[in-house]
Structure 1
């Protein structure tokens, strides 16, 4: 595959409490998406913000080992961001963040698709550059994908965050959000209503993941539903990111994704498998293409 993806957003260290003491994992939704894409065989570049410290070096090594190219503009003299993760008995995670997000709009030469989301889409001052990049890519005919991955504690005033979200999805071809994202963005609407509102703003496919329940997607042929892939849950860190990586790969590989119901169903099944494999492992550890193919 010759297509090249640019992922823009935070990379950080997840500090996960455990019985034997805290453990540190490379995380950050956009970084996880970039690693997931590379493991699926998609040439990927990551523009993020990491410090010239031990944690930053660990992130750089981690993404490089997956095959991700780290944009040189990602390095900073500030400390590398962290997220304190607390794992509930059912495997779900909550976070406390220490993030400083600044980035400049990158060059988009030889990029077929631009993905952004999470903290990097909302936290100023870098968020404005991210939104400008998405709109520039859309105007240039490149595919755009968005995953809001809402973090209420970091994204500021709700009205401003909703406006940023709407601006981002207006530039997007594909949007994935979780049921928690939908509940925060659309507190008084049913999931199908939230999907319809997002789709009306421009995206050709909107995907709603619902944890242990089925995944819904709204495209030109209406609502498509796909079951979850059963697995024993170690934790849910990175599940949505693995799903997003798989959907991006499908968008690049299958030109029928946005027009064909069977193609959308195939993409949702693959995304469910990628997420299912990820939750069976500790930390954000997305599968390779061979692992997904073997499980299909």
Structure 2
């Protein structure tokens, strides 16, 4: 366990329950999830000190979420005891392991941010803040999240990270969604986005061109995950591509979140987060950036090799690296 004074990453956003259906479509298993909560859990499993700021309800699903977070080592000091019920994401898995989602979110705990639920400024031990997904673009929480990012961008003491994790069925008008997403992109230092998100937000445009467009908005680093194709990263020194970890896919639930956690964990361990992180990340040489993305792809790949969203532990990764590689 890390000492209480260790620098930490804070994650803001939803913690919900994924109801994952079997192939019959009749039996569903409850898995704690939500993109920000997944990132927090995966960081904790990688031995990175992490605090979640979210709203969790009092129902049976809320108790399940709390137990899952705490059991994996996530600090719950930023969690608000909400009175609304938990949000649900119903996931169905295709034959190739890809997950499709339906959401139950109206009137649920995640979207009801009130004054005081989020801090006016982050504690001094914070080296990075990550947010994204539903909490970053569903009202009323989106306003509070954007305001926190804007305050922290001005303060400049923590590296800011964002993953839009788009859900077109919930985001409404594409142009409005793009405007909101790009506003948040302009406030942060690190952007991780999937190629599917980009295909919906800016259809028909090459991902390299969109990455350049977003880098020009202000981030130090833009990373696009490509599913089985690996990942693409761009900073002001240039761009790199890395391959996906070759695994037998069980399901892809939480793969993007695991990639984000792997990337943030790599930046944390390299001392690249905090007040001087922005310029350093922007100027990372290609080989260093490639190593960071490879590590993130490893975390994502190991997540796909097992059911549910919880990613690998540090020990799992050490075991993988100790195994003899076959050609």
Is contact 1:273–1:295 with CA below 8 Å preserved after alignment? Answer: no
Is contact 1:170–1:203 with CA below 8 Å preserved after alignment? Answer: yes
SS at match of 2:310: coil
SS at match of 1:153: helix
Distance 1:40 1:135 in 2: 28
* Alignment of 1:108 onto 2:114: no
* Alignment of 1:80 onto 2:86: yes
* Offset of residue 126 of structure 1: 0.6
Distance 1:257 1:66 in 2: 29
Is contact 1:257–1:267 with CA below 8 Å preserved after alignment? Answer: no
TM-score by length of 1: 0.96
Distance 1:295 1:170 in 2: 37
Q: How does 1:166-185 map to 2 (within 5 A)?
A: 166-185=182-201
* Alignment of 1:15 onto 2:19: yes
- Equivalent residue, structure 1, for 2:276: none
Cα shift readout 1:41-62 (whole Å, capped 9, x = no counterpart): 1111111122101110110010
**Can you give the 5+ residue segments of structure 1 that lack an aligned partner in the other structure?**
none
Two-structure CA RMSD over aligned residues (Å)? 1.5
Q: Which one of 281, 291, 295 corresponds to residue 270 of structure 1?
A: 295
Cα shift readout 1:84-112 (whole Å, capped 9, x = no counterpart): 10111111011111123122432411221
Cα shift readout 1:209-235 (whole Å, capped 9, x = no counterpart): 111112110112211011110001000
Q: Which one of 255, 268, 279 corresponds to residue 304 of structure 2?
A: 279
- Equivalent residue, structure 2, for 1:25: 31
Distance 2:176 2:89 in 1: 23
Q: Which one of 128, 132, 141 corresponds to residue 126 of structure 1?
A: 141
TM-score by length of 2: 0.87
* Offset of residue 153 of structure 1: 1.4
Is contact 1:123–1:156 with CA below 8 Å preserved after alignment? Answer: no
Distance 1:293 1:147 in 2: 27
How many equivalent pairs are there?
A: 296
SS at match of 1:96: strand
SS at match of 1:195: helix
Q: Which has the larger radius of gyration?
A: 2
- Equivalent residue, structure 2, for 1:136: 151
- Equivalent residue, structure 2, for 1:3: 7
* Offset of residue 257 of structure 1: 4.5
Is contact 1:48–1:71 with CA below 8 Å preserved after alignment? Answer: no
* Alignment of 1:39 onto 2:45: yes
